[in-house]
Amino acid sequence: MRPFLLLIALLLGAPAALAAKTILIVGDSLSAGYGLRPEQAWPSLLAGRLAEQRLDYSVVNISVSGETTAGGRSRLAPALQAHRPAVVVIALGANDGLRGLTLGQMRSNLEAMIAAAQKAGARVLLAGMRLPPNYGPYADEFQATFADLARARKIALLPFLLEPVASRPELFQPDNLHPTAAAQPLILDHVWVALVPLLK
């Protein structure tokens, strides 16, 4: 009787054991797919690539258009508890910078998010952003914040999320801020290089 009960227990436990690990993406409109169909945004393309390569990961994208680091910080704890991710991609800061918000507060918010993700046992990829040169010294300090945090918290860094498309105006929507559908595979390829080493 005992072997039978053991077999039942193993079968009942199998779905949990086989459940895919989660990649949680916390970003703004650049990751939410502003102006695009949901399936066109790079996080959706990431889910497709993971499936194609038979990697045991699912993608949960909680990115929200207009999100700041403060908003992301407030939403992260419930998301960590709900999804228990193995990897967290933090792609926030663009709206803080464009609005000229205090960089000290942006840093504090990002650091708190990184610390929370690490405490929850997740590996972290921080996706940095850049501002136009006309922002002056603020732009330099803004950009440096991401590298400084990655170094201090010993996490993976993607220095600039939009690196492969930033100099190609034809890959942006009419607002000149949000990448088109055609840009999304290029962004995915760029993210993929930094993300793969975290998929243990």
Cβ proximity of 122 and 83 under 8 Å: no
The yes-or-no answer on residue 65 being catalytic is no
The yes-or-no answer on residue 83 being catalytic is no
For the record, the structure tokens of 138 come out as 């603020």
Catalytic residue among 28, 29, 63, 96: 29
Catalytic residue among 44, 96, 178, 190: 178
For the record, the structure tokens of 190 come out as 């760029």
Cβ proximity of 62 and 75 under 8 Å: yes
Q: Rounded to whole angstroms, how far apart are CA atoms 126 and 88?
A: 8
Q: Which helix (H) or strand (E) holds 63?
A: none
Residues annotated as catalytic are 29, 175, 178
